[in-house]
Amino acid sequence: MGRVIAIANQKGGVGKTTTAINLAASLAACDQRVLLIDLDPQCHSTKGLGLSTQAFKGSCYDVLTGNMRLEEILLPAHLPTLKVAPANRDLAGVEVELAGVEQREFKLRDALEPIKDNFDHIFLDCPPSLGLLTLNSLVASQGILVPVQCEYLALEGLSDLIDTTQRVQLRFNPQLRIDGILLTMYDDRTNLTRQVAEDIRSHFGDAVFQTVIPRNIRLGEAPSFGLPVMKYDEHSKGAVAYLDLAREYLQK
């Protein structure tokens, strides 16, 4: 049965979608069966894999509102064992659509149940906010992978997410835990980066991945071509880092 992992941070701009796309693709390159679910109304994972938001028949919005089954909306993406559940802007209306619906926090968990056995890893790309979409993700997940940009106030955003995780554990999902913290946009030429990394490792210990994701122009360029970085430039530092992360993730 596939392990469901929310890739989440309530702070925006930390490399969340970059990690979702490239970790999913790197694991698929290691012959793992991977599903990436785009739950962000900005649709960045969907667009970053070259999928037009106008070209598919259904999206995560249709699943959460009960109009389609999750297996009906899955699309292939660049590697034989990588599938994507796409997003479109309709997702922004889910909060209103489900406002009066009972058990609305469990919609994604219930939708995932019939297809969990088809995948080894299921990643949920969450929006950078604590709304119903992120709550559905945390309720459906066994673990959280937290990308953290190596910059000032990084620990503050991390503490907010830990507080949210504890609240979800108490009310909805006692098995939820933080699987790992990933340092992103790492630039070892700056004192700030090194200090933030040291502080996070000192505070969270083995929960922090040894692999760090460097600042890399190829990582920024790849989504504009609709490709994971390993398909855009497999020898780039970004591609190598995410393959290393995939191997470390499997070992964990």
Domains of the chain: 3-251 (3.40.50.300)
Query: What angle, 0 to 180 degrees and rounded to 10, lies between the N-to-C axes of helices 132-140 and 154-171?
Result: 70
Q: Mean pLDDT across the stretch 157-178?
A: 90
Core vs surface per residue 41-59: b (16+ CB within 10 A) or e: bbbbbbbbbebeeeebebb
**CB count in 10 Å sphere of residue 97:** 16
pTM above 0.75, yes or no: yes
Query: Tokens in use for 133?
Result: 């979409």
What ranges in the chain are assigned the alpha helix state H? Answer: 16-29, 44-48, 60-64, 70-73, 94-97, 107-112, 132-140, 154-171, 191-204, 217-221, 229-232, 237-251
Q: Which of 176, 182, 158 is nearest to 246 (CA)?
A: 182
Q: Are 171 and 207 in contact (CB under 8 A)?
A: no
Average pLDDT score over the chain? 92
Q: What percentage of residues in the chain have a pLDDT greater than 70?
A: 99
- Decide if pLDDT at 53 tops 80: no
Q: What is the pLDDT of residues 113-147, one digit of tens each?
A: 999 999 999 999 999 888 899 999 999 999 999 99
pLDDT-based confidence at 153, cuts 50/70/90?
confident
Q: How many CB atoms lie within 10 A of CB 96?
A: 9
Backbone angles phi, psi at 93, to 5 degrees: -95, 0
